[in-house]
Copies of this chain bind each other. A is one copy, B any other.
Amino acid sequence: MYDLAGADPSLRFSPYCWRTKMALAHKGLAVETVPWRFTEKDVIASSGQGRVPVLLDGDKVISDSWEIACYLDEAYADRPALFGSGDAKGAAFFIKRWTEAVVHPALVRLIIADIVKIVDPKDAGYFRETREKALGVSLEDYAAAKEENMKNLHAALLPLRLSVKDLAFLGGAAPSYSDYIVFGALQWARCSSPQDLLPADDPVAAWFDRLLKLYDGLGAKAPRPAAA
């Protein structure tokens, strides 16, 4: 699996790659991850697109974390299901949409100035240019108003907070793909920024901690950048 990495190849911070790494662990499938940088489009050209995760399974090449999750549940139907049923898959799709439309934008304001510092030198220009073009402002201006951005993040997480206050995982007692989708967002922040974004007494922090510890601490063991 091609996995986004920083200048330090041990920093693996793509939210989408984290979804896939957790999904593979959930299914008990071993995987070799290959560090990949934003500008190495040629390396994954066989997938027909330019983003990771890209999973190679035998002669199959699958891209897009959602497509990979669907593929894994079909190809390895005898292993623990990522989606318990058709309508669980639909609801997970809603959680994906919520995560990408609400949680990612709230997080990116807080961490983008840190991400710039860890990307590979050959990616730095590409990263800044594409993001500033999309945002219409400099990354530093975008990340200003830290206190307000932190408040926005905590407000954005309210539906998650209210859910995991009463349930161990989004799907109930056991983790499922919905958890990995939202986990990916917070793990993206954890692996790209030295900031701590969640108050210790936030039920979201306790839920995130439960996920970090899963699969022999797969998430917890992932290196973080040192504080400047």
Interface residues of A (CB under 8 A from B): 83-95, 97-98, 100-102, 158-160, 162-163, 166-167, 169-174, 176, 178
Can you report 26 residue pairs joining A to B where beta carbons are below 8 Å apart? A85-B85, A85-B87, A86-B173, A86-B174, A87-B88, A87-B170, A87-B171, A87-B172, A87-B176, A88-B88, A90-B167, A90-B169, A90-B171, A91-B91, A91-B95, A91-B170, A91-B171, A93-B167, A93-B170, A94-B95, A94-B160, A97-B158, A97-B162, A98-B159, A100-B162, A101-B159
The smallest beta-carbon distance between A99 and chain B, in angstroms, is: 8
Return chain B residues, CB-CB under 8 Å to A92: 91
Q: How far is the CA of A91 from the CA of B178 in the complex (A)?
A: 8
Main secondary structure of the interface of A (DSSP, over half): helix
| A87 CA to B171 CA, complexed, in Å | 4
Copies in the complex: 2
Asked whether A97 and B171 contact (CB < 8 A) given A87-B178, A88-B85, A90-B176, the answer is no
B contact residues around A95 at 8 Å (CB): 91, 94
Q: Which of B83, B94, B159 contacts A178 (CB under 8 A)?
A: B94
Shortest beta-carbon distance from A149 to chain B in Å: 17
B84 touches A163 (CB 8 A): no
C-alpha spacing A101/B154, complex, angstroms: 13
| B94 and A87 contacting across the interface, CB-CB below 8 Å | no
